[in-house]
Amino acid sequence: MPANIVIIAQGTMGSGVGRRLVELGHRVATVLEGRSAASVERAKSAGMTAIPMAEAAECDLFLSILPPSEAESLARNMSPLIAAATRKPIYADMNAISPDTMKSVASIVAASGADVVDGGIIGGPPKAGYSPSIYLAGPTAAQVRDMIGAGIDLRVQGGPVGAASALKMCYAGLTKGFQALGTAMLSAAARSGSGEALLAQLAESQPDFLAYFRTQVPAVFPKAYRFVGEMEEISAFLAAGGDKGSSQIYAGMARLYGQVAEDVNGPRATVAALTKLLK
């Protein structure tokens, strides 16, 4: 049966998921008040219907797909709207947040009377022939999977709310951590004049690393601003487990991605040096 689904917001991932859900026959809405022209265009292209914020709780399933720093704020904004709704949606937080942040979101939303599902998206936005792996945790995770049906790779993960977020933190810590390491050390090599020698040594002794860095370091440039909050959440996740050393590593990676983002929007010196080196 088609479901009424609301997605906040309309970034690359949110609009990509929205498009796939529309293709599957679901009715998908979003809130465009105060959004950029690019967000409006992405939503329209995906077939998402614009509704006022006051109506966002009137749905079967509410999907939060935002930058990590906005997850709790959206939960606070939605909770009173859901509390006032005659029929409560399932609130699924799909953001790259730590288990503790996810539990905070769940506590905020649970006060409205809604069920909460913890989600973790691994991979890029859906496109023809491809779906990211979306892990779901919590008592009503299977209900969300069954409501959406086939067409998106939804995986119910054992464990309570927070389990899917923990998996996302560990996976992203590896993938984006490798990208951060490559960006840091290749930038240092370019600055010090040892770039070509480093590439030659990698080609000889670590060809798989070199192939990975050639594709994944340039991929960082347009996304670096989005990775800052994710690294901060991973840092908090590790600190909560008592691993202060690892936590500091990812706090440093957050700063690195912030510096790259500033360079992308400013002098582009790092971007130019890495692009030249990796060609």
Q: What is the mean pLDDT of the chain?
A: 97
Predicted structure pTM score: 0.94
Query: Can you tell me whether residue 140 is helix, strand or coil?
Result: coil
User: In terms of Cα–Cα distance, which of 233, 124, 241 is closest to 169?
Assistant: 233
Name the CATH topology of 166-278.
N-(1-d-carboxylethyl)-l-norvaline Dehydrogenase; domain 2 (1.10.1040)
Give the pLDDT confidence of 125-146 residue by residue, as tens digits.
Answer: 999 999 999 999 999 999 999 9
What pLDDT, on a 0 to 100 scale, did the predictor assign at position 119?
98
Statement: residue 41 has pLDDT above 90: yes
Architecture of domain 4-161: 3-Layer(aba) Sandwich (3.40)
Q: Domain coordinates of the chain in residue numbers?
A: 4-161, 166-278
| Cβ atoms 51, 80 nearer than 8 A | no
Give the pLDDT confidence of 251-277 residue by residue, as tens digits.
Answer: 999 999 999 999 999 999 999 999 999
- Percent of the chain scored above 70 by pLDDT? 100
Give the pLDDT confidence of 89-114 residue by residue, as tens digits.
Answer: 999 999 999 999 999 999 999 999 99
Mean pLDDT of all residues in 54-70: 96
Report the C-alpha gap between 87 and 83 in whole angstroms: 9
What pLDDT, on a 0 to 100 scale, did the predictor assign at position 158?
85
What pLDDT, on a 0 to 100 scale, did the predictor assign at position 27?
98
* Strand ranges across the sheet with 61-64: 49-50, 27-30, 4-8, 61-64, 90-93, 116-122, 133-137, 153-156
Statement: residue 1 has pLDDT above 90: no
